[in-house]
Chains A and B, each alone.
Chain A
């Protein structure tokens, strides 16, 4: 009997103790978190404001991530009034003063997204919940961008997408809190198809190798539609895993497929590997169907061209921007990036830099960091001087409408940076499309979700 009694007493003591702990230590936390009366997530109250940079520093797109990081660091310097001011001097109209944003000094925290959506989300959440980031930016995979964008919508933090080219980012997966400056696969299709028609003729049989995720899928769809409109046939489309080091098992069937064009819907290291292997397979020296066999890479950048070396010569693709463009904005950016890092910026660096500036400018114009007001300032904003001519942040889908470049691997490079030639600049009107074709819903800006 006494043991039972003792047991009960002990239990009672411990129970009371635990209730005490809960009541004093934990419960207040639960109630007070919401009651902090923060009007929105990470409202900067001190003298600084924090950007969250979510960058792939490892994985298939690591090179782009590293270049984006340089660009963000440069943008933050310029926003704070350090350095030569870069594009602050040429952005029109501009509310930027070079004293931070709304008088608050800009600083940043960063996270390695490893080119994986799961990790990117975890990193973004950390930067929002722990480090108090007011805005998340970066990323160089559409998988990441879409994952982080929907997270930002849930937490009520603005996401300024970095390198993301999938139609879905501002199409069926668009979000009110997400903005994209980079162009998309559909625009690549509009831009590259006429050039391909002129160069390679109207009777071609294409074989697609496609990175197996949202960007690859939509690019394959867009390029397929654009080339089929030319009169080309699509022999087959094959999906390859992201980050595959060896593409030979996917390249061998191309040789006997009756195709005479290989379209590589790959990016970053994947594209460098698949193109190099395709060349090693002798594809560029082949004749098929009585024509020269050709390789097309619908989206590529100077980083990839550098990586692919000799193999990129003569290959067609599209780009968002190129450092060789003659306008004031491009010159200013190339100059200050070159002065800081000793190499010309890539298109990834350019889009990252511009996104940071556009966010800052929108805050200045809105006069607050309150996200719904900043969103209003960005929606339908028309600006010039950032290197792509007159540009519009379309309100319907948060996609920047601007000119698009068709590029070709340089046959006679004069330096290690001179790897691409601009073949054609497609103007904004031609690259335009109806935002309704991809469906999707932006969702609401208000009520602003509370992030903790």
Chain B
């Protein structure tokens, strides 16, 4: 039993689970405690954790992960349209489809490493985006986005009931919008987190870390690294597909924008911001970016005026005008600044900051402990 998980990992997992499940309360002071944003926190957390298995563990920087995310979305939507409104088959179908797609892309791209690999994945992703946007419009409905309609066949559902009202995804009849959707996606985030923890501690994970630190050395010692990198690529592609399908489950519209290169870049940012190769880092990075995107972008001059209402009139206008450039449609600017600051001062991302603070506290505690021990021995003496 104790081999199953070390005490440290168990604590980390339970702590993580507690934070995730308590988010509806913890996020309230930040104005983020509404289901849609928390669902996004979960979904992009999964996306980033999956990406980290490839980038953080194996050291392969993919610039096209949004493609798998998009494939997952479209696959799930087609399952809703053709099979059933139940979320389970949709998610399974999406994971399988994105896995197959990852096999194809990975098989070609992984022939190269480093920047060439990144460019290859970027090229594939951009191709998929253009296909989804304008070539495969019968399948993807292009810019308008793919939606469910009343007239979809839904073969499996048709066997049991005749549906009425607007079709929405469900879990065996339970609606998955709002808070239900949050807990549903949270379960998947916890499962993904658990998986990534197990991978990182397994012999397979050690192999991936070995590939990251020096692939040539691995090859010279007689390992064929290709199957390992391909497996990592497929796992991370499938997790991206899972995230994409969950986004469709909670918000039933699949648009092509989510496959654009900016979306691929976003997950790279998430991982770097939080801490490459750490377990919790990518999740924190994902939350931070989604928070900026949804909350900072909602501040208009009205909100700012209220926020600075304690300042005298003239000064307030100046402050509002200046800070207005960093919020609302200028939220990218503040995110960029934050990114620069973190990369310059904390190259290991936010997790490095946490570790530094932790080390300082740990040091102090160790110091006080040893002095206590000295005191104790003195007393005994």
Contact = CB atoms under 8 A, between A and B. Distances in A.
Given A129-B34, A129-B36, A112 B329 contact: yes
Contacts of B36: 122, 125-126, 129-130
B118 interface: no
Nearest to A107: B302
Contact of A143 (B35, B144, B183, B298): B144
Interface in A1-32: 3-4, 7-8, 10-11, 14, 18, 21-22, 25-26, 29-30
Contact of A117 (B18, B37, B133, B253): B253
B297 A112 contact: yes
Contact of B25 (A25, A58, A441): A25
B21 interface: yes
Contacts of A22: 21
Interface in A109-129: 109-112, 116-119, 121-123, 125-127, 129
B154 interface: no
A443 B167 CA distance: 11
A230 B7 CA distance: 80
Interface string B168-206: 100000000111100100000000000000000000000
A7 B36 CA distance: 38
Contacts of A117: 143-145, 253, 255, 257
A381 interface: no
Interface string B244-266: 00000001010101100000000
A375 interface: no
A213 B14 contact: no
B321 interface: no
Interface size class, chain B: 35 or more
Given A29-B179, A130-B37, A4 B2 contact: yes
Given A112-B328, A112-B329, A125-B36, A21 B22 contact: yes
Contacts of A212: 133-134, 137, 142-143
Interface stretch (A145-153, A283-291, A329-337, A428-436): A145-153
Contacts of B298: 109-111, 123, 126-127, 131
A296 B347 CA distance: 55
Interface of A: 3-4, 7-8, 10-11, 14, 18, 21-22, 25-26, 29-30, 33, 57-58, 108-112, 116-119, 121-123, 125-127, 129-131, 142-143, 146-147, 150-151, 153-155, 173, 175, 212-214, 239, 241-242, 441, 443-444, 450-452
By Cβ-Cβ distance, the 5 closest A-B pairs, closest first, are A213-B143, A130-B34, A125-B36, A129-B34, A214-B144
Interface of B: 1-2, 7, 10, 14, 17-18, 21-22, 24-25, 31, 33-37, 40, 133-134, 137, 142-145, 147, 150, 165-166, 168, 177-180, 183, 251, 253, 255, 257-258, 294, 297-298, 300, 302, 328-329
23 contacts: A4-B2, A7-B2, A8-B1, A18-B14, A18-B17, A29-B179, A30-B180, A57-B329, A110-B298, A110-B300, A116-B257, A117-B143, A118-B257, A118-B258, A123-B298, A125-B34, A126-B294, A129-B35, A129-B178, A142-B144, A153-B166, A239-B134, A441-B150
